[in-house]
Amino acid sequence: MKIQSKLLLMMFPLITMAASCDKNTGNEREADLPAPIQIELRGAEKEMVQSDQQFAFEFFAHVFDEERADKDANFMVSPFSLSMALAMTWNGADGETKKAMQETLKMDAYSDEELNAYYQKMKDALLKTDPSTKLSIANSIWTNQFVSIKSAFIDVNKKYYDAEVQAVDFSDVKTKDRINRWASDNTNRLIQSVLDKTQREDLMYLLNAIYFKGIWISKFDAKNTSKKLFTQEDGTGKEVDMMHQTAEFNYTADETVQAVQLPYGNQAFSMLVLLPQEGKQLQDVVTVLQEEGYWAHFTSGLHNAEVELSLPKFKTEYSKRLNDILIDKMGLGIAFSNAADFSRMSDQDANISFVKQDTYIGTDEEGTEAAAVTVVGMELAAAPPVQKVVFNADKPFLYVIRENSTGAVLFMGTVKK
């Protein structure tokens, strides 16, 4: 098991974090920062956070199982990005398809209004809570300009998700470049390509992009970084750049896992590093995380402690198509089938063609930079009608032979007789 598989990044910890102080660098920087804005949640919203966390751990567990069965490589996913992209798609679903999406997101107890208001509140609050941490959350919807999209679907996603909406020609090879450029612009160029192509039968693409850059409150001194042996889960060893510091952090442990909380900026965000106890493996940690109530109980035990911390520097770029997980493991098969009902999106029969997520994370002595883009691709059950014209070359005409990418004209001629 490689370095990143030892670490579980919680980009958006939705718990109240106790204070942490830095014995290495002092508290001057922290004292200059405004206190984090506490995100006040009502009763139903607190339950929705727990549902969101349940979705996150289940989603992570399925990816973990697939990766372990495949190359067992490092990976990172963004449950928040996926759930927001699917929530926008939910606004176009109806009937059994809508029900399946609600159940997959663990939000079947809530109305459209409650779901949309929840994500709007989370998005707005997360962006404001720490001005010293760079965070952006962007949404966009790219629609087929030749197919009528229902205005109610567009309006609700603009209102609650601040989605940028553009009608485009998916048969134009330049369209995928525009979508890729949007993904790059909204991830500080960390994720530069999310689509290889678009095609005429595409109905729309719904995208969510998240960019995060946080600076440790207690930075690691680069002078203390040294080559150390990292023991992988199969018992083999590899030398890595290991960062070291001794400072006060929030810490907790049980019989399965020990955890240290590394705060960024004004402590609105943090990374929780989860390390299996001696004799335990990552699979044991993933299993307990899915137990109802475990995460809340475990994180409630976080307390201040002096921690002698060693943490490897790491970087991961990851891309995964999520169709199989969503269809076979999370109950969303109907949305990908011909039985899909997205009648609140368009009068044309359509289904989800694919869901894909691209992620990046880099962690060093200064902090963490991370990004994720989730793409939900929608396709028409039948290709949109092609414009019918009459072109009858029954009189003299001219022709041009050119190189298309540059427009360079190689030959020109005329047929007169």
CB atoms within 10 A of CB 350: 24
Residue 404: which residues within 8 A CB-CB, separation 6 or more?
none
Residue 149 burial by Cβ neighbours in a 10 Å radius (0-12, 13-18, 19+): buried
Matching residue, tokens 């965070």:
135
pLDDT range class, residue 386, cuts 50, 70, 90: low
| Nearest partner of 375 among 206, 160, 137, judged by Cα | 206
Q: Where are the alpha helices (DSSP H) in 264-386?
A: 282-289, 294-299, 323-324, 333-336
Residue 195 clears pLDDT 80, i.e. is over it: yes
pLDDT score, position 402:
74
pLDDT score, position 17:
30
pLDDT score, position 12:
36
The mean pLDDT of the chain is: 88
- How do residues 62-104 score in pLDDT, each as one tens digit? 999 999 999 888 999 999 999 999 999 999 999 999 999 999 9
pLDDT range class, residue 363, cuts 50, 70, 90: very high
pLDDT range class, residue 20, cuts 50, 70, 90: very low
Per the confidence metrics, is the pTM higher than 0.85?
yes
Residue 54: which residues within 8 A CB-CB, separation 6 or more?
106, 290, 292
Query: Percentage of residues in the chain with pLDDT exceeding 90?
Result: 76
Lowest mean pLDDT among 202-216, 228-242, 308-322, 325-339: 228-242
Homologous superfamily, domain 7-215+314-380: Antithrombin, subunit I, domain 2 (3.30.497.10)
More confident residue, 35 or 202: 202
| Nearest partner of 4 among 80, 45, 63, judged by Cα | 63
Torsion of CA 246, 252, 257, 261, to 10 degrees: -60
Helix (H, G, I), strand (E, B) or coil at 8: coil
Q: Where are the alpha helices (DSSP H) in 246-345?
A: 282-289, 294-299, 323-324, 333-336
Phi, psi values for residue 384, rounded to 5°:
-60, 145
Phi, psi values for residue 377, rounded to 5°:
-95, 130
Residue 394 burial by Cβ neighbours in a 10 Å radius (0-12, 13-18, 19+): exposed
Helix (H, G, I), strand (E, B) or coil at 339: coil
Q: Angle at the Cα of 71 (from 70 to 73), degrees rounded to 5?
A: 125
| Nearest partner of 118 among 206, 48, 15, judged by Cα | 48
Residue 85: which residues within 8 A CB-CB, separation 6 or more?
139, 206, 207, 208, 355, 374, 375, 376
The class of domain 222-312 in CATH terms is mainly beta
Q: Where are the alpha helices (DSSP H) in 20-42?
A: 28-32
Helix 112-128 vs helix 151-161: crossing angle, to nearest 10:
30
Phi, psi values for residue 383, rounded to 5°:
-60, 145
Break the chain into its structural domains and give their ranges.
7-215+314-380, 222-312
In this structure, what token pair is assigned to residue 298? 């475990």
- How do residues 21-45 score in pLDDT, each as one tens digit? 334 433 445 557 788 888 888 889 9
- Amino acid letter at 285? V
Residue 417 clears pLDDT 90, i.e. is over it: no
In this structure, what token pair is assigned to residue 230? 């990292």
- How do residues 209-236 score in pLDDT, each as one tens digit? 999 999 999 999 999 999 999 988 888 8
Lowest mean pLDDT among 106-120, 182-196, 232-246: 232-246
| Nearest partner of 160 among 141, 188, 180, judged by Cα | 141
Residue 108 clears pLDDT 70, i.e. is over it: yes
In this structure, what token pair is assigned to residue 126? 């997360």
* Interstrand relation of 237-253 and 303-312 (parallel, antiparallel or unpaired): antiparallel
